[in-house]
Structure 1
Amino acid sequence: MHLTVTPESALADESVKIKAWGLPPHQIVTIRAWLKDERGEMFYSRAFYRSDDEGKVDLQQSPATGGDYHGVHPMGLFWSLKPVTPYFRLMKRDVMGSPFEIHLELYGQLELDAMPECSPNATACLRRWFVAPGVQRLQVREGRLRGALFIPPGEGPFQGVIDIFGGFGGLIEYRCSLLASRGFATLALAYFAYEDLPKTLDYLDLKYFEEAVQFLSSHPKVCGSGVGVIGFSKGAEMALAMASYIPHIAATVFINGTVAISGSTVRYGDLILPGIPYQRERTLITPSEACIVSPLLGDLSKPENQASVLPVEKAKGPILFLVGENDKSCESLYFARLSLARAKKWGKMDVYIESYPGAGHLLEPPCSPFSLVSRVSSSPSLIMWGGELVPHCQAQEISWPIIQDFLRKNIPCSKKNKL
């Protein structure tokens, strides 16, 4: 029996081809995937397949008959990777270091044990990189700015993008490094709970984000006519605030967030944007009966909340909302529609919504594993993200090229006109 994966080394957002052959015809077999992350945590998945008349299984064509998913899903073994230790989430921390090594195992029978003791009939291994050859990573400690700048190979100049993650702090680089691998000069921007930045989100200074725009635009490898910004969750809220108040934001990608200042007050010079307090929804899950927290905002149409709603109509560039309709962490579809209606009311017609039924909060680059619920280091409770395996991961596959096309189309690029 044989098992192959092609290519054996690829970027983490690229699909691969998995094939098995030398099997008895019409036999149920098991293909299993596993990896260890940088912390030593194990993640695994498995699916059952029936070999064809020639004793072959091709994940591009063969439907899974059971296991972690059903149907024809060539990357299903990647989508469904789940932790041995419950509620851990697979995230790449050191993007410039070693790749994730995913081990594939073929068992010539229906293997019902998720962690089989018997040896596989065939194995294969592939390496999943988060940075392409030639991409440079530059640590950013410029004034009070903290982050990491990724520059693609070549002379440039390149379209600049600022990448902002959610409300748990730190510096997260894997989406940034993949965007740089696709030709964007991308700044992964930390804004709290990192190095000497504030430890908590008590308040945010929008001038800090404006400094990031100025820093990126002035880099000799970056087009200076304007930059893009992509934000997720709390980062999406800040991306929309940047678009609404900072004129050099040329394009904004907003992924599953709120369209009003939430929780923490935001200041921009003399302007103060009050944060709407969160309402916490708590549910219990079994068997552990762990508490799941889903933050909720109140009705944004209430007069007392109007000062917090972001004036999307003031944005100079287009805005793309990416929404998981089964988001359990944020009422993303409601917020996106609210912002679209406000934009149209004021005559701004370049606001768009891409909405994905069955997708949850964590819309990641393609091939990223699905996570319904996970732990977060800064929270004592579990966080409910929502979504369903197949539609969520299909949304990730669909949205990634849409993001890149939107940024390429709308960020102007010339060697002149620096800030």
Structure 2
Amino acid sequence: MVTLTATPKSSLADEPVKIHITGLEPSQMVTVQASLTDEKGVFFQARAFYCADKNGEVDLERDAATGGDYAGIQPMGLFWFLKPDKPFTRLMKRDVINTPFEVHLDVLNSVQLTSSPPEQHLAGQVVERWYATPGMQRIPVRSGRIRGALFLPAGQGPFPAVIDLFGGVGGLIEFRASLLACRGFVALALAYFAYEDLPSFLGEVDLEYFEEAAEFLLKHPKVRGPGLGILSICKGAEIALAMATYLPQIQATVCINGTNAVNGFPFRYRDLYIQSIPYRLECMLLTEESFLDIFNVVEDSQSENHQANILPVEKASGKILFIVGENDKNYNSKAFAMETMERMKKLGKTHCALLSYPSAGHLIEPPASPFCRQSWSPFFFRPLLWGGEAQAHAEAQVQSWREIQTFLHRHLHSAQSSRL
């Protein structure tokens, strides 16, 4: 009898799953597939072809896929390369506390390029991929102006605290903050536009809103101060860099694929007003595949005309980690990070570090998220091109997620920590 065994059957979404198949004929060709349906009813699937060994077994940790959605030895390929049946849909968990993603793993006889008849199904198993641990809490936040969701790990604490910021999609995105809480952080998923009574569109950025969020978080009895961290991407990374520069509460900042200057919308903080570099909307391009390429919309900040727009990161009191994908099609993020690193070098500053991933794209997320090269995004009339090559991007997500946790834990343990 053919048996597919996946272990563990229930796990956190960022953890690996081992897949082992037994009971096949020697050298039998099979298709192994994974599938799930998201909370909006979109079906995602990945499949790969394998040849059983002389004992009639396939072990995804040992054996190479011969084709399908990926090739080679890819133990987590079925999870990394899930593709939607509704084009340009990004897989994001919405109810992160109460329900897991249920991933159906199946073995089909021979090489199956399309849906197979029932008699071709040899074995299967369902695994649960959770975004919460037992005892973890999600608390909606409506405090003063602050809107978001607070995630508290189980236990008394105190725990290091992190503000989680996404970018130009707006709204409230919680899956990354919930995974941070699974890893021992109090995490505030912070909305800043297009959510509840917040402004519908991003305009002038008021850093006092983000300072209010920092103070709210540091007052929580489960939070271990004296400072906190930020995990951010895209426009959120630009805001995070400003927070690191001007807010003394910020002790450790991770900026994923952001810029080094104020772009599009001015920043205000008390008596300080930083004018923005205008977006060059005329530089938006449609690719041959009809994706929207906005790579050149954000102008190079090195121009003499834009020196006043560059964030003076040398003023930051905490540590900063830049993470960039060298195939980012949204921003020239590596160039922006390198400009900051050069600026810090000239000024003799050592509080910034850079992780750069060749062939990774813009959406560098926890490894729970499958590779997404392009998808619909609010406020745009075509799917946005995010970039990246599937294999390299997936590996960057695994490695960077480890590095992010290490960085945040290290620099939120002690205000005196000095080593990046």
Q: TM-score range by the shorter chain?
A: over 0.9
Which residue in 2 is equivalent to 1:359?
Answer: 360
The worse-fitting range, judged by mean Cα deviation, of 271-280 and 25-34 is: 271-280
Q: Aligned pair 1:83/2:84, yes or no?
A: yes
1:283 equivalent to 2:286? Answer yes
Flag the 1:362–1:291 CA change in 2: closer, same or farther, 3 A: closer
Q: Can you list the C-alpha shifts for 1:268-313, whole angstroms capped at 9, x where unaligned?
A: 1121111212223312333xx4544445322211122112111110
- The answer to whether the 8 A contact 1:225-1:412 is kept is no
Contact 2:192 2:198 in 1 (8 A): yes
Structure 2 CA distance, aligned partners of 1:91 and 1:225?
A: 32
Counterparts of 1:41 and 1:292, CA distance in 2: 25
Whole-Å separation in 1 of the counterparts to 2:95 and 2:380: 22
Task: State the distance in 1 between where 2:379 and 2:102 align.
Answer: 28
Query: 1:411 deviation in Å?
Result: 1.0
Equivalent residue of 2:66, what SS? strand
Q: Is the 8 A contact 1:23 1:108 kept in 2?
A: no
Q: Are the structure 2 counterparts of residues 360 and 102 from structure 1 closer, same or farther at C-alpha, using a change threshold of 3 Å? A: same
Show the 5 A alignment for 1:244-259.
244-259=245-260
CA distance in 2, matches of 1:29, 1:375: 34
In the alignment, structure 1 residue 32 sits paired with structure 2 residue 42: no
Match of 1:311 in 2: 312
Quote the offset at 1:237 in angstroms: 0.6
Equivalent runs, 1:284-363 vs 2, <5 Å? 284-286=287-289, 289=290, 291-294=292-295, 296-363=297-364
Instruction: For 2:40 and 2:301, locate their aligned partners in 1 and report how far apart those are by CA, in whole Å.
Output: 41
Look up the equivalent residue of 1:312 and give its one-letter code. V
| Contact kept? 1:373, 1:386, Cα under 8 Å | yes
Q: Which residue of 2 aligns with 1:60?
A: 61
- Give the Cα separation in 1 of the matches to 2:362 and 2:58: 33
Which amino acid in the other structure matches residue 169 of structure 2? F
Give the conservation status (yes or no) of the 8 Å contact 1:367–1:393: no
Q: For 1:101-120, what aligned pairs fall within 5 Å after superposition?
A: 101-113=102-114, 115-119=115-119, 120=121
CA distance in 1, matches of 2:370, 2:116: 22
SS in 2 for 1:155: coil
2:374 alignment counterpart: 373
Kept in 2: contact 1:31–1:47 (CA 8 A): yes
**Is residue 329–residue 362 contact of structure 2 (8 Å, CA) maintained in 1?**
yes
Change (3 A) 1:214 1:249: same
Residue 6 of structure 1: CA displacement?
0.5
| Number of aligned residues | 411
Alpha-carbon separation, structure 1, partners of 2:170 and 2:351: 31
**Residues 413 and 132 (structure 1), Cα distance of their counterparts in 2 relative to 1, 3 Å cut:** farther
Q: What is the CA-CA distance between 1:377 and the residue it aligns to?
A: 3.2
Structure 2 matches for 1:198-237, cutoff 5 A? 198-237=199-238
The alpha-carbon deviation at position 226 of structure 1 amounts to 0.3
Unaligned runs of 5+ in 1: 415-419
What does residue 122 of structure 2 align with?
Answer: 121
Partner-residue secondary structure (3-state), 2:284: strand
Give the deviation of 1:381 after TM superposition.
1.6
Secondary structure of 2:187's partner?
A: strand
Residue 178 of structure 1: aligned partner = 179
| CA-CA distance at 1:188 after TM superposition | 0.6
Q: Percent identity?
A: 52
- Give, as a single letter, the amino acid of the residue that structure 2 aligns with 1:282: L
Q: Distance in 2 between matches of 1:374 and 1:183?
A: 31
| Residues 1:186 and 1:380: Cα distance change in structure 2 (over 3 Å) | same
- What is aligned with 2:240? 239
Considering Cα pairs closer than 8 Å and 6+ residues apart, tell me whether 1 or 2 has the greater RCO: 1
- Equivalent residue, structure 1, for 2:418: none
CA-based RMSD of the aligned residues comes to 1.3
Write the distance in 1 (CA, Å) between the matches of 2:291 and 2:55.
48
Match for residue 417 of structure 1?
A: none
1:97 CA drift (Å): 2.4
- Structure 2 contact 252–411 (Cα < 8 Å) conserved: yes
Q: What do the CA deviations read for 1:57-77 (whole angstroms, capped 9, x no partner)?
A: 000111010001111110000
Q: Is the 8 A contact 2:163 2:187 kept in 1?
A: yes
Would the aligned equivalents of 1:362 and 1:371 in 2 still touch at CA under 8 Å? yes
Q: Distance in 2 between matches of 1:181 and 1:299?
A: 38
* Equivalent residues of 1:11, 1:131 under 8 A apart: yes
Give the superposition deviation at 1:150. Answer: 0.6
Task: Extract unaligned runs of 5+ from structure 2.
Answer: 416-420
Q: Distance in 2 between matches of 1:116 and 1:378?
A: 39
User: Mapping of 1:136-155 within 5 angstroms?
Assistant: 136-155=137-156
CA distance in 2, matches of 1:365, 1:91: 11
